[in-house]
Amino acid sequence: MNEQIIRYPNGQIIGRIRELPDRIEARAPGGVLLGWYCKVSDRTRYATGVQFAIGNAVRMLL
């Protein structure tokens, strides 16, 4: 698992991007799942499972 912390210029955490073998997850600073990108289906989804975009748009969820 690879994790990248996304920050504002002042250092405040915006969120985290976690790369897993089958998907990439966007998480809030507290660790709450915001959504994910499925590598197999090439779709980005909200945490509820509703499709957000075609392709990798996981950073836009933050």
Q: What is the pLDDT of residue 41?
A: 96
Q: Cα–Cα distances in Å, from 19 out to 2, 31, 45? A: 5, 14, 15
Residue type for 57, please? A
Secondary structure element (H or E) that encloses residue 8, with its range: none
Dump pLDDT digits (tens) for 17-53: 999 999 999 999 999 999 999 999 999 999 999 999 9
Q: Is the pTM value of this prediction over 0.85? A: yes
Task: Decide: 4 and 16 in contact? Cβ < 8 Å.
Answer: yes
pLDDT of residue 1: 79
Rounded to 5, what percent of the chain is helix, strand, coil?
5, 50, 40
Tens digit of each residue's pLDDT (9 = 90 or more) over 4-15: 999 999 999 999
